[in-house]
Every structure is written in structure tokens, then in C-alpha cells.
Amino acid sequence: MHDRTVAQLMAGLRDKSFSSAELTRCFLDRIGALDEQLNSFISVDEEAALAAATAADARLAASDAGALTGIPIAHKDIFCTDGMRTSCGSRMLDNFIPPYDATLIKRFNAEGAVTLGKTNMDEFAMGSSNESSYYGPVRNPWDTNLVPGGSSGGSAAAVAALLAPAATGTDTGGSIRQPAAFCGITGLKPTYGRVSRLGMVAFASSLDQAGPMAHSAQDCALLLNAMAGHDPLDSTSSPEPTEDYTAQLARQIDGLRIGLPKEYFGEGLDNATAGQIDAALKELEALGATLVEVSLPNSHLTIPTYYVIAPAEASTNLSRFDGVRYGHRCADPVDLHDLYTRTREEGFGDEVKRRILVGTYALSAGYYDAYYKKAQQVRRLIKQDFMHCFEQVDIIAGPTTPGPAFALGAKSDDPVSMYLEDVYTLAVNLAGLPGMSVPAGFVDDKPVGLQLIGRHFDESRLLNVAHQYQQATDWHLRRPASIAGGAA
Amino acid sequence: MISLRPLPPTEAFFLSGLYSMAIEQDDIEKIAELARIRIDQGQIGQVTQRITEILRMVDQLQAVDTSEVQPMANPLDATQILRPDEVTESNRREAFQAIAPAVEDGLYLVPKVID
């Protein structure tokens, strides 16, 4: 039962082919047997998972079930879980047991979903390879010498290896889409503000957004139904009404206009990856869509803009980690200054420190206008580019990443080369748009992701296009060889 | 009082392409102090080099003419949502302090600040 979609598992629970307790036990056993080689989970609480499954079975028996009742889900270790450690991949929060649930967790709990465990991630979601985690790197199930991508690398690897049928992730500059692409799964970053950020450890508040990671667009839609919606406790969450995100899946896409930004197909894109993306676009054309060349002329500015705004907001958000109220505290501080500086030296890893320093510099007196304000101005230009494109087309498509997954250690000593990995994903966060990555083939047995970008709050359209593509292709059904073994 | 070196005077100077934001070890030490992060003396050289590389990449922004562009703080240009000023939260001090490194009589403990 482990190799089924969420939609199939929902049906299986309802027709009593298996119970949630059996299903949960199956995934827990797979985690126990296979995760040693992948390191995709930071925490697993078997007892709590099985208790939630038993409660879900009671709801199913009483016909009091929500759509996801009894479905096991892995949550990125960035979402606060009441009574269960939430580390955010950092030594700073290694001992942090939140006294409350994130709104996203509350919503899944109310649905009756089962929390399997908390997945590994780059420290404070800062990274594109999962190598910055305090708990060690995650390995890609397709080839354990490769990175799974990041920062939601644990979630992507866990789903790809069938250790969980679906997972949650967060995406500040590509952290759902890039690992989804590298691990051959489907991931959606919703519109900024679509999903509550309350209880999601903040990295860059004007960019952060949570979303689903699963095997199919249909599963992502089912998860988004549970996640999306206004939260009065998050003042940046959108009051826009939500919809049933599965309602448009079956719609034909003939007449759909798909924009191909010429900047996403030029220099820097790996040739073999470009070949796979071209084939995917031809498939969409065969389904009736029209391909239109468009331009995002400020694309070359997305990396510099992002690497001012994200570190600036991070340096502000991470100032809360002071060793006083929760989290790590250094031993025997001689005074308050020593307490702060040594706690933060010990608690944060190298990449997090670098970003705090860059952000502090960009916000410091005399430099604010030249860096932060400038980046906010260019950010508007980047958003305007997309708005102009959406006057001509319904969605935008291109590669999720410049190439397939790279080797562990290949870029970990060179921050700027790591930043370049996110060249096609960052702009979506800067513009606040919804974006997806959909499995679209392989290069040397490594998965390739097709990125779909939509208008604000047009998640339904993205999911519709991805679902139609998945009806015509089977890339999302391919499974890595390494997942054999463990309980079935 | 920490002071950073002042910026060169005009945007025109940035646009000239002659300016590069060189940052020195001294600056990194001041920023680290502002950010309350201790950096080991043995690592300061490498940290400076990495941050220099990042800032060099970021400096491409200086060549863009943004004189007519409003800064964008929120991608949806949303304004702050306000709610009625009513107490909706219960006091959970015990639960919050249970996870603190050091508390006493309901207060957070830190090293003595004033002698």
C-alpha cells in the first residue's frame, strides 16, 4: 500500500481495504528500514503517529471523516508541532519543543491526517542542497551520491522513496520546486499569503510560503484544500476566498496559452535538460495548448535582488534567537553580550551566519538605500515583467532548475555557485506568484522538473495543466531503485 | 557607537560602474558586532572573502536606473490588516517559560547587566 497516491489511499481507507493504523505502521516500518541511508527525517514519533491513526480509524468508522482523515503526512521540520521538537535544521533549536501548533499543522490535525514525522531541511531553510542541516545532509533516493535539493530536501526525498505518501514544504526562493525537481516528485508553491505562515519558523517574511509535495498534481490539490485559507493570526495571509483545488483538474487545456520566457531557455541551461523541457512543452502543445515566446527582461537581476531581500529579512527574523527565552544557550556566559554573541556563534551554522551578516550590512545606516531599498525597487520591475507576460498568456512554463541534481559536496564550499542553482525559481517568490514543479523526464537517470508559473491565486489553473500533463505522461509514476526493501 | 564607512555621495557614481563595494575584515567585525555573532579570529579572513563574493554579485543592482520606481515591500502590495483591539489570547506564561534556558519566579534569567 506504500506505492499509492493520496487519492488512492483515501479510497482504500473508505472501502476498508486497510486501516489508517495499518497504513501508518507500513510507512513507519519503511522509514525504520530505509531512512538510515537517506536521512530524510529528523524526528519520528511512532507512538503519536499510531495514536492519531487509531483516532482517524474511529472517525472513518463513524463516518465523521474529513478528506484526509487517516492519511499519513510528513511535515518539514520548520512547522511548529505542539510537544514535538521543531529544529528547523539548526543546533539553535535542537532542544526546542513548541508549546503550540502552526496553523498548517492545526489544519491537518483537524482533518484527521496523521503526522508521520518531521523532515530534514537546510538550516533555517537557507540552502539548495540540504547540506546546511545540523542533522547532516539528506541523500537523493535516485542516487545517494547526489543532493536531493533544498531546502525542503527531506520532504522531497521521503516522498520520492515512498517513506510518506505526501509531505509539506516551504519555498522562499525555490525550496519546494527545486527539491521536487531533483527527486522526481510534484511540488507546488502557492501564491504569497495563500497558506498561513503562523508557526512556520520565519526566514524571509515577504517571500516565505508553505505548500504541498506529493506524487501527483491531484495529490497536491487535495493537500492544498486542507492548507489554504485566511488566518486571522497571520496578518500577511490573504483574505481572498479559497476554492476546491481539485474541481478544475479534469478540464481540457486546448486553447491554453503558455508563455515561454526566452531568458529561461538561454545560456546557463544544461542542453540535455533543455531537451527534456522541450519534449514536455511539445506534449502540452499536443494537448491543445499554444506556445508563445515571452520575455522577462529583468531575469538577470533576480539573484542579486533576492540575495539582498532574503538576507535582510532573515537578519531581522533571526535576531529573536538570543539564548534567553528558548533554544540554545551557551554555557557559562560572563555577561549579557557574551551570552548573545556566543549563543549565536554556536547555534548558527556557516550559511546562516553569512546571510545574517549580509542582511545586517544591507540594512545598516548609510547602506539601506543602496541595498535594501534598491532591491525593493528592482523587485517591482521583476514583478511587472510577469504582469506584462500575463496580459498575453495564461501560464508561463520553463525548466525548474538549470540542470539535474548535483553531487554532494560539489557546491557546498562556494555560496555564489549554490545561489545560481535557483536562477529560475527566485523570481516567482519575488513576484509572489504560484509556481509548480512537475516531473518531466530524466537526464542520465536523474529527474528533471518542468516549472509552471501562474497568475496570483490561479493555483487551480497550474494544478489543472499539471494534472492533464500527468494524464498523458508517466514520469511522475517512475520510482527509484533504492526504495526496494522495507515493509510493503 | 559603531560607525560604518559612509557611502559614496551620488547614485551617478554607482551608475558610472567605477564603484565596487569593497568590504574589509574590519567592516565584517563591525557587522558581526551589530548582528551579535561572535566570529572566531581564525575564520574572519574566510568569512570576509565569502561575503565579498556575495556583495560583488549583488552589486549588479547598482547599474539599474530605479529613479521612477516605488519600492515593493509586499508582492501583492497588500496593506496591513487590522483587527479590533480585543484580548483574544490567554496567558500561557508557564508553558512558554517551561522551554526557557533559565527562569525564576516567572522571570527570565540572564547574566547581571548592571553592577
Sign of CA dihedral A348, A353, A355, A360: positive
Mean pLDDT across A89-108? 98
In a domain, B76, yes or no: no
Residue B114 lies in a domain: no
In a domain, B22, yes or no: yes
Residue from A76, A118, A411, A446 carrying the catalytic annotation = A76
Is B82 among the domain residues?
A: no
CATH number of the domain enclosing B59: 1.10.20
Q: Are B99 and A340 in contact (CB < 8 Å)?
A: no
B46 Cβ partners below 8 Å, 6+ apart? none
What was the pLDDT predicted at A488? 43
Structural domain boundaries, residue B57: 11-63
Three-class SS of residue B18? coil
Q: Using DSSP, state whether A350 is helix, strand or coil.
A: helix
Whether A175 is catalytic is: yes
B107 belongs to a structural domain: no
Check if the beta carbon of residue A161 is closer than 8 Å to that of residue A116: no
What percentage of chain A reaches a pLDDT higher than 70? 99
How far is Cα A189 from Cα A178, in angstroms, rounded to an integer?
Answer: 11
In the CATH hierarchy, which fold is given to the domain comprising A6-255+436-483? Answer: Amidase signature (AS) enzymes (3.90.1300)
DSSP states along A181-193: HHHT-EEEEPPTT
The neighbour count for residue A47, using CB atoms within 10 Å, is 7
Nearest-CB residue to A323 (from B31, B61, B101):
B101
Query: A259: burial class by Cβ within 10 Å (0-12, 13-18, 19+)?
Result: buried
**3-state SS record for A270-304:** CHHHHHHHHHHHHHHHHCCCEEEEECCCCHHHHHH
In the predicted structure, residue B2 carries a pLDDT above the cut 80: no
Could B55 and A206 be called an inter-chain contact, meaning their C-beta atoms sit closer than 8 Å? no
- How many structural domains is chain B composed of? 1
Q: What is the pLDDT of residue B23?
A: 84
Cβ neighbours of B73 in A, within 8 Å? 206, 376
Lowest mean pLDDT among A378-382, A419-423, A464-468: A419-423
What is the overall mean pLDDT for chain A?
96
* pTM for this predicted structure: 0.95
Q: Which residues pair with A228 in a beta bridge?
A: A195
Q: Which residues contact B17 (CB under 8 A, 6 or more apart)?
A: B63
Q: Which of A276, A348, A340 is closest to A127 using CA atoms?
A: A348
Q: At A115, which helix (H) or strand (E)?
A: strand A114-119
Is residue B72 in some structural domain? no
- Assigned domain for B94 exists: no
Q: Is residue B77 part of a domain?
A: no
d(CA A159, CA A211): 14
Closest by Cα among A308, A301, A281 to A368: A308
* Range 346-375 of A in CB contact (< 8 A) with B: 348, 353-354, 356-358, 360-361, 364-367, 369-371, 373-375
Q: What is the ipTM of this complex?
A: 0.91
- Among the ranges given (A180-189, A220-229, A459-468, B41-50), the one the predictor scored with the smallest mean pLDDT: B41-50
Q: Do A193 and B76 touch (CB under 8 A)?
A: yes
Indicate whether A241 pLDDT > 70.
Answer: yes
> pLDDT band at B21, cuts 50/70/90?
low
On the CB side of A371, CA atoms within 13 Å amount to 28
